Every structure is written in C-alpha cells, then in structure tokens.
Amino acid sequence: MPLYDLSKHPLKVINIGLQSFQEDLQKQGVAVTQMDWQPPALIEPSILEKISLNSDRIDAANSKVIDKIQQGHPVLLGLDIALKVIPGMHKDLILHAGPPITWDRMCGPMRGAIIGALIYEGRAKTPEEAETLAKSGTIKYAPCHEHNAVGPMAGIISPSMPVFVLKNETFGNYAYCTQNEGLGKVLRYGAFAPEVIERLKWMEQVMYPILDKAIKSLGKIDLKSLIAQALHMGDEVHNRNRAGTSLLFRQLAPAIMRTCPNMEDAAMVLEFINGNDHFFLNLSMPAAKCILDAARDIPDSSIAVVMARNGTDFSIQLSGTGDEWFTGAALVPDALYFPGYTKDDANPDIGDSAITETAGLGGFAIAAAPAIVQFVGGSAADAQKYTRLMYEITAAESGNYQIPALDFRGTPLGIDVIKVTELNLTPFIDTGVAHKNPGVGQVGAGVVSAPMEPFIKALTGLAKRL
C-alpha cells in the first residue's frame, strides 16, 4: 500500500528556476519553496575544458590570492596633493572611474565632472571653455585603478586635488582617494555649478591641511579595525557609512583640536564631516583597493581584483590576467529615486565603489546593514538573502570582516569568475545613481547586479593564458 495518497494531502512543491512557475502555484494556494537556479552562462566548450583541465593550478593560485587579501591591513597615513603623490600623475592628466574610455564615449555625469574639474583647476572659466579643452586632446584620461587610486561615481581626480594616502601595512603598497564632498549636487555625480567648485576649493585650502596634520599627529588610523567595527554597527561601508564616519570622527576630533590653531576652521571641518555620513566611503574604497592590489598578478587565478564602471562600461580585472580589462555594457541600477526623478533620468552604473564588493564588503555585506534594506525589498531577510547568494560565487569567507546577523560569519570574499559563470549569477552591488545629463548630480541610490559579459570574457581571457 502507498504510504501517501497524494489526493488526500496538501501539495508541497519545490520549484527550481523560473519564478513564474512558483507564482502560478502560489495563486492556486499551493505551498511552494523557490530554489533560485539559472542555466550556466553560454561559454565555448573548449574554454570550459581548458579551465576544467587546469582546475588544480587555478585552485592553488586562488588560495594564494585569498591569503594575500586576508592578510591585507590598510591604514590611513594622511593626505597629499594628487600631482605630488599619485604615480604617473601629471598636470594634463585626469583620472576617472572604471575602465579606460575616450571623451566621445563618456557618459553625461563623467563629462560634467571633468568640466567641473577643469574649472576647479583654473584651466577654464566657463563650462563651454572646459568642454572645448576636455575634447581638444590636450587633456589625457586614465582610469584611477591604473594609478593605485579609486574614485566614487565619476571618480575624477585632477592634479591639484588632495587625496587620502593609505598604505597596506602587510605588503607596503599604497592607495589614494579624494575627500568625500557629501551628497546631492557634487562633482562626483557630474555637477559643476559654482557652489560645487567653491566647496572643492574649501576642501583643498581648509579641510585638507587640517585633516592631514591631525592624522599625521596620530601616526596612522587603522582602517581594518574601523571597517570591522563599522560592520558590527550597521554599515556595509558602501551605501551605509554612518558608523565608519562616526568612529573616524571620534579619532579625528581630539587630534584636530591639538593640531589646528584656528578653532573656527577646525569646527567647520568637524561640522562638515558630521553633516556627511558618507565621509568614510572615500576611505573604505581605497582600503579595499589597497587590500586587493596586493593580490594582483598571481598567474592562473580566477579571482577578481577589480570591478569598476565608467558609466558606459562595466569592467573587471582578474588576479591571473594582469592589467587586461574585461568589459560589458553598464546597466541602470534599481534605485530609490529622489522626489521628481525616475529611472529614465538615471545614468547606467558608474564608479569605482564596486571595489568594496570586490573586497567582500558593500552589497556582499548588505545583511550587516539593516538601515538600507529598503534598497532590496525592505526586510532584514531580503538583505540576508543577497549576502547568502554571494557566498555561492566567492572563494572564501573573510577572516577580518563579519556579519552579526549571520552569527558573525565572515563576509563572502573573493569573486571567482568560474563560479559566476557556472551559476550564471553575477555580483550584487550597492550604488548611488547619477543623473544621465552633465551638471545635475545625484538622483537616487540603490542596487544593481553586474552584467554577465565581463565575467564570460574574463573566463575566456584566463583560459587563453593557461
């Protein structure tokens, strides 16, 4: 006799893959457990075979990469002027977010930020003059990532901008990033109005020397420790940086008091930081850069050491494929938009800030940041779901950075292009959203999944080198 007569029992279904099947069953009152699954990405069989044949070599290389990332120890040493300190910087060079791009292919906010930077540098008086110079061929462009630097959104670094100087104490490499300007109408979102330039000038003339002196008086600020603590206090250090900013502020304030003779300026600097919960982003990003740069150039490794977007292209670099960029079209983020704006206003995904996800933070750690779960469905469980998924495409779990809500499990660390393509599941990235036109600024914040194309290309590129 059958133990179960199906007609007498309520159906319980596990649906694998296509979500609409689940929804149909739910409409009929059937309990369904949905298992996310997608067919693998389309890759040439010869590539897959080569990867498969070399899996031992790849695994060994990936272990080395993960070891180096785990050992990374970023500290903040102070600030300096980009021209003096960033390797290869020169007076006609402007660094930008993402992979290499020419003026004609640049998106609106990147053009806007370059126009602003040329006015800020005194190379142009009007936006029109700036645009003429920008496309004249005199000004050269290069990715921040190719100069040990990172920049949020447009990511523009021009020669006279002050930058934070970070060092990976374990391996001795450096990373650089500008000071965060706050939200809304700011250069990195493509705005270039006079108040934007004025703020940048104040940041250069007043804030930079005060911060530099204070940080140097402390010797260094341990960013590894700050990031670890921030994750215990609701930050994922990409779209949420309130705790990191607070903990940094606590170290800076007494040092500023002891080193700044002008108390009015000092108070204004502290008020500026206190008014900008994203101030720490421009430290979490170069901290991640610093950590990942030390893990570059391990032959045979399938681990990503860069994910970056210029607002037109989304590109990645692998530890095992040197300086080669693997590129696809950048997608428009799913976002919460500021009043008056919609997805139609949004520029495709832009910025080097995906370096945080590449280091196992940001979207990969979103379960640590309940205050921003409205970006991903509104519940703590939604956020945990995204973090859990990222364990599927990573090689390890962080030994340094933990997620309290997952009982202090280490964050998903080390994006493996083999797993990404096998599961057809791309990295999940927190992000801000810029208006697609130059001169406007930020219009929202949200999340985006990376496009698959760069990962397929990277796998192919790796296979060719094996």
- Binding residues for its own copies, per CB under 8 A? 1, 3, 8, 232-234, 242-243, 246-247, 249-251, 253-254, 256-258, 263-264, 266-268, 270-271, 274, 370-371, 373, 378-381, 404-408
Q: Which residue, 75 or 231, has its beta carbon nearer to its own copies?
A: 231
Distance, in Å, from the CA atom of 69 to the CA atom of 198, rounded to the nearest integer, reads 39
* Minimum CB–partner distance for residue 197 and its own copies (Å): 25
Tell me 373's DSSP state: G
Nearer to its own copies, 59 or 222 (CB): 222
Give whichever of 48 and 270 is closer to its own copies, judged by the CB atom.
270
Instruction: Count the neighbouring beta carbons within 10 Å of the beta carbon of residue 341.
Output: 16
Phi, psi of 442 (to 5 degrees): -75, 140
Considering the complex, what minimum distance in angstroms separates the CB of residue 10 from its own copies?
Answer: 13
Least Å from the CB of residue 58 to its own copies: 35
Of residues 382 and 453, the one with the C-beta less far from its own copies: 382
Q: How many CB atoms sit inside 10 A of residue 35's CB?
A: 10
- Closer to its own copies by Cβ: residue 25 or 270: 270
Give 56 or 407: the residue with its C-beta nearer to its own copies. 407
| Residue 235 token pair | 């930050």
Judge residue 394's burial from the number of C-beta atoms within 10 Å of its C-beta, 0-12 exposed, 13-18 middle, 19 or more buried: buried
Cβ closer to its own copies: 115 or 367? 367
Distances (CA, A) of 139 to 104, 159, 353: 13, 11, 24
Report d(CA 94, CA 107) in Å as an integer: 15
Which residue blocks in 72-105 are alpha helix, DSSP H? Answer: 82-85
CB nearer to its own copies: pick between 256 and 281: 256
HEC-encoded secondary structure of 132-170: HHHCCCCCEEEEHHHHCECCCCCCCECCCCEEEEEEECC
Going by C-alpha positions, the residue among 254, 256, 227, 255 that lies closest to residue 243 is 227
Q: Do the strands 31-35 and 12-16 form a parallel or antiparallel pair, or are they unpaired?
A: parallel
Q: Which is nearer to its own copies, 19 or 262 (CB)?
A: 262
CB of 268 to its own copies, least distance (A): 8
The minimum distance between CB 253 and its own copies, in angstroms, equals: 4
Beta carbon nearer to its own copies, 61 or 221: 221
Cβ 252 to its own copies shortest distance, Å: 9
Minimum Å gap between C-beta 189 and its own copies is 24
Q: Which residue number, 299 or 404, has a Cβ lying nearer to its own copies?
A: 404
3-state DSSP assignment of residue 432 = strand
Give the side-chain half-sphere CA count within 13 A for 378.
Answer: 1
Q: How far apart are CA 227 and CA 223, in angstroms?
A: 6
Q: Are 309 and 333 in contact, with CB atoms under 8 Å apart?
A: no
Q: Which residues pair with 32 in a beta bridge?
A: 13
Q: Which residues are bridge partners to 428 per DSSP?
A: 449
Element (DSSP H or E) covering residue 336: strand 334-337
Cα distances (Å, whole numbers) of residue 294 to 21, 76, 98? 46, 16, 19
Instruction: Write down the least CB distance from residue 141 to its own copies, Å.
Output: 38
* Contact of 242 with 234, CB cutoff 8 Å: yes
* Rounded least distance, CB 365 to its own copies, Å: 13
For its own copies, which is the closer residue by CB, 40 or 378? 378
Nearest distance from C-beta of residue 260 to its own copies, angstroms: 9
User: In Å, how far from its chain's centre is CA 357?
Assistant: 6
Q: How far is the CB of 357 from its own copies (least distance, A)?
A: 21
Helix (H, G, I), strand (E, B), or coil: what is residue 309? strand
We find the least distance from the C-beta atom of residue 406 to its own copies, in angstroms, to be 8
How long, in residues, is the chain?
A: 466
